């Protein structure tokens, strides 16, 4: 399928999920995950109106970033090692994978050196799968408290990855739990400003995520496709 057809198809499914759940279309943002495709394909997507690009490794995204930053907003969605923070801060507009204090401290240090503030999602491993990155829900309070001292990090929301499921519907409890966690944190005034965002939902489960409150869905294969030699 051509990119334009995929974009139209995804857009229709997003609108239907919004309608089913009484949500406004403009409250759901799409990050096009380009990690499986070439810089040329990513550039084509941007020229067709894609505004947000998601990547999970700096070396693989460098060419795309050099070509497209300024034209698209860049989201770092992969697990982030502390020693790789220098590659990401100052380049990516959002980090979706903040999940521990040492990482936050390194982001703070780099952002301070560049005199910028980095909007971050806190990644939570809701499902408890050992293979998933992210903190345990019980760790959120402590990280929230520590972040109060890190003025270069702006917590904007929570992020999660649902376990691979044969049926999208099986992911619903994970997404619902993430929304509840966000609402609980906000009720406790855990952050200087309420968290407004939920980054959840991928190609296989984005409609369920939207029904459960996702404000950012991260779509790779279904939207920009997959290429053998990216
Ligand atoms: C690869 C990836 C995606 C997109 O995956 P698809 O299933 O192809 O949509 C979304 N989020 C994260 C964190 C990823 O690593």
For residue 79 and ligand 1, the question of a CB distance below 6 A is answered with no
- Substitution candidate for ligand 1 out of 202, 203, 210, 227 with most atoms within 8 A of CB: 202
What is the residue-level pLDDT of the chain in tens, covering all 230 positions? 899 999 999 999 999 999 999 999 999 999 999 999 999 999 999 999 999 999 999 999 999 999 999 999 999 999 999 999 999 999 999 999 999 999 999 999 999 999 999 999 999 999 888 777 899 999 999 999 999 999 999 999 999 999 888 888 999 999 999 999 999 999 999 999 999 999 999 999 999 999 999 999 999 999 999 987 54
Tally of domains within the chain: 1
Please report the atom of ligand 1 found closest to the CA of residue 159: 13
CATH of the domain at 59: 3.20.20.10
* Interior angle at CA 10, CA 5 and CA 124, nearest 5: 145
DSSP of 117-132, one letter per residue? -EEEEEEB-SS--TT-
pTM tops 0.95, yes or no: yes
Helix, strand, coil percentages, rounded to 5, for the chain: 45, 20, 35
Q: Residue 180: give the domain boundaries.
A: 3-229
């Amino acid at each position: 399928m051509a990119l334009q057809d995929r974009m139209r198809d995804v857009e229709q499914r997003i609108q239907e999920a919004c309608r089913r759940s009484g949500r406004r279309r403009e409250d759901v943002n799409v990050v096009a995950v380009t990690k499986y495709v070439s810089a040329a394909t990513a550039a084509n997507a941007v020229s067709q109106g894609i505004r947000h690009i998601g990547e999970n490794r700096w070396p693989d995204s460098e060419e795309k970033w050099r070509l497209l930053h300024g034209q698209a907003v860049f989201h770092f969605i992969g697990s982030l090692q502390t020693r790789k923070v220098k590659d990401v801060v100052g380049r990516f507009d959002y980090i979706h994978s903040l999940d521990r204090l040492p990482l936050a401290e390194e982001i703070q240090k780099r952002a301070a050196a560049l005199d910028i503030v980095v909007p971050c999602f806190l990644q939570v491993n809701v499902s408890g799968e050992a293979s998933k990155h992210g903190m345990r829900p019980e760790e959120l309070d402590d990280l929230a408290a520590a972040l109060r001292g890190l003025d270069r990090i702006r917590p904007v929301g929570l992020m999660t990855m649902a376990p691979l499921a044969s049926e999208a519907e099986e992911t619903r409890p994970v997404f619902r739990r993430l929304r509840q966690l966000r609402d609980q944190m906000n009720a406790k005034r855990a952050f200087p400003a309420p968290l407004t965002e939920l980054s959840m939902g991928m190609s296989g489960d984005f409609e369920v995520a939207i029904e459960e409150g996702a404000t950012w869905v991260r779509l790779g294969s279904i939207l920009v496709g997959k290429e053998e030699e990216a």
